[in-house]
Chain A
């Protein structure tokens, strides 16, 4: 027989006031199981009342309840105690000073070691949802800005895939397995494609493990490591330059991530920044030659071809700020020597700005540069710098 609602019976409605109904009769085992939730004030009012009534009657539960309440007092809200990234450098320096390592890190691997550690510290702090924050990878191709949409986790997958080029050259496992992809972009796309789901924070562990393995392995290759070269698909880099390149990319993408999740991120230590700028400066003559071959160069007249090792027309690249310096870039042939006597142009820009240019994050037209001399030479060098960028 269906029950009729009390509203339909004409009898008075029950009083709504008593918020805490009479404690339900709960068995001892259930009350005991509630003690943790009770201590944390995480059960219903009725359950709280039932537990508290029980504590007056049951000595062992009362003892436990007191202990658990005290334990709650030891919890505290998480403090955002971000470790100062510079502390790592200082601590390691102290250690290595007190006991010199038998197997040191090669000098050219320290920027990679430092940058991967900085990025990992950033990743440690970001919340689950932030791993899916959108990030736009940006670079230059054929003098035009290009971009590709991904997520924070997708960026780490990208770093993992491209760092894998160095891993393969060193005989370590290839994170992009079973694919014929060779260059950075192809490898990244292959890695993204190979997983059924978009990358998640679970990509952090393999990326970090590989970066630790790279640092460890190059420490053992010793002085012979300079002869190893890393194929990047279209070109190759000597191992020590490849490790610098990976340090640079790690910083650039760490900044992409930091922007996406709204965290502050500092440039690398000046001596590391200097090495990165130096690598870009050394790659510029080759990039200028490639532009000429591709018909992108604007320099008028025929290039003054010079024999390898001979001084040639040069642009003075003056990098200001911490980690800066001066580089003479031979303009007409990658084999020529930079020459102060044959200087035809002078460009000055800030070190971090130059790196952003070389990362394809600042258009060459907007690279805030003090310029003097041959305008076309300057334009070509700035576009060549942007052209060093890739996915």
Chain B
């Protein structure tokens, strides 16, 4: 979980190394965040090649503007996620606007576009929340949702009490439900 106080040492050092122009730092940044960035872009755009393009743009942006990230404002991870989201939604708007047929009237097209953008934003935010939530909550959700275990089995698998398993499932879903809350641009900072 991110804390708003002292920025994590890794984030601070990474920002300094990028600002210094250290190619090795860029590689490490990629190794840490590429799957997050690519995954979010893919969730918004639903296309492998488009997600590759966004990944390239996100890392190029950070590398070219290392000072754009201020470690005091929050974790680098959230900042990268928000940047990815912004660029991916921009791309979605551009491609969808071009693709929408001429047959429908302008208002319907605009509504359709906004609906798609909203849908993609919530989905991407949800992915981010799942990936950033404390590992015990994620593990409980995974057991119940992916592996179809009931909460008693999940409790046994996790080696916790049944009370605790219920608590984790409820808390995990509560966190996840906040994906619906934030408007655009999404609030990647804060507690999750």
Which residues of A are in contact with B by a Cβ distance under 8 Å?
33-37, 39-40, 42-44, 64, 67-68, 70-72, 74-75, 77-78, 81, 83-84, 87-88, 90-92, 94-96, 98-105, 113, 117, 120, 124, 208, 212, 215-216, 219
Contacts and interface: CB of A to CB of B under 8 A. Distances in A.
Given A39-B173, A92-B30, 14 more contacts: A33-B166, A37-B151, A37-B170, A40-B144, A42-B150, A68-B173, A68-B177, A70-B180, A74-B123, A81-B35, A83-B34, A90-B56, A95-B63, A212-B31
Interface of A is mostly: helix
B176 interface: yes
Contact of B31 (A77, A87, A102, A120): A120
B179 interface: yes
Interface stretch (B16-24, B92-100, B108-116): B16-24
Contact of B38 (A64, A83, A208): A83
B163 A33 contact: yes
Interface in B48-75: 52, 55-56, 59-60, 63-64
Q: How large is the interface on B (under 10, 10 to 19, 20 to 34, 35 or more residues)?
A: 35 or more
Nearest to B175: A71
The listed residue with most A CB atoms (<10 A of its CB), out of B39, B123, B141, is: B141
A36 B63 contact: no
Nearest to B63: A95
Given A78-B146, A91-B59, A104 B23 contact: yes
Contacts of B191: none
Contacts of B30: 88, 91-92, 117
Interface of B: 20-28, 30-31, 34-35, 38-39, 42, 52, 55-56, 59-60, 63-64, 122-123, 126, 130, 141, 144-146, 149-152, 154, 163, 165-174, 176-177, 179-180
A99 B64 contact: yes
Closest 7 CB pairs of A and B: A36-B170, A102-B21, A36-B169, A74-B126, A101-B23, A71-B177, A37-B151
A92 B27 contact: yes
Nearest to B168: A36
Contacts of B38: 81, 83, 87
B42 to A, nearest CB: 6
9 contacts: A36-B168, A36-B171, A36-B173, A37-B150, A42-B151, A64-B174, A72-B173, A75-B176, A92-B59
B55 A74 contact: no
B87 to A, nearest CB: 14
A239 B120 CA distance: 49
The listed residue with most A CB atoms (<10 A of its CB), out of B21, B28, B173, B179, is: B173
A312 to B, nearest CB: 41
A103 B21 contact: yes
Contact of A36 (B23, B126, B149, B166): B166
B145 A40 contact: yes
B169 A105 contact: no
Nearest to B178: A71
The listed residue with most B CB atoms (<10 A of its CB), out of A39, A42, A87, is: A42
Given A103-B24, A216-B24, A74 B171 contact: no
Nearest to A39: B173
A188 B69 CA distance: 41
B34 A87 contact: yes
Contacts of A113: 24, 27
A241 to B, nearest CB: 20
A62 to B, nearest CB: 14
Contacts of B145: 40, 72, 75
A65 to B, nearest CB: 10
B151 A81 contact: no
Nearest to B23: A101
A124 B35 CA distance: 10
Contacts of A90: 52, 56
B142 to A, nearest CB: 8
Given A96-B23, A102-B22, A103-B20, A44 B146 contact: no
